[in-house]
Amino acid sequence: NAGVTQTPKFQVLKTGQSMTLQCAQDMNHNSMYWYRQDPGMGLRLIYYSASEGTTDKGEVPNGYNVSRLNKREFSLRLESAAPSQTSVYFCASSEMGGDGYTFGSGTRLTVV
């Protein structure tokens, strides 16, 4: 099925551990995004990639890095996880400008 696929769906990390969240889309979209959602809040943009080969910071980039591996894939890396990074992470993709915005099903990350 067409859409945005995120892996893993759930993850528990210890403080200081590292991990990479994977995201892939098969809609031939140019733009991809990583958001986090904390309880009772809207989504906050971490990083985005307007097109293949480019990445830029969003509202809350500290503690994260990203890689736009190719047009389909956009990964998010936590180098040294902290409890404040406990959240639900969503990947999304869209046409340039935001039309056709499609979200993945999310990754629930807990840092203990």
Site of interaction with another protein (CB under 8 A): 31, 33, 35, 40-45, 48, 50, 56, 58-59, 88, 90, 92, 94, 97-103, 105-106
Closer by beta carbon to another protein, 35 or else 111:
35
d(CA 62, CA 97): 25
Write the CB contacts of 101 (distance below 8 Å, at least 6 apart in sequence): 92, 93, 94
Minimum distance from CB of 17 to another protein (Å)?
A: 24
Closer by beta carbon to another protein, 44 or else 71:
44
d(CA 84, CA 96): 31
Closer by beta carbon to another protein, 19 or else 43:
43
Amino acid at 97: G
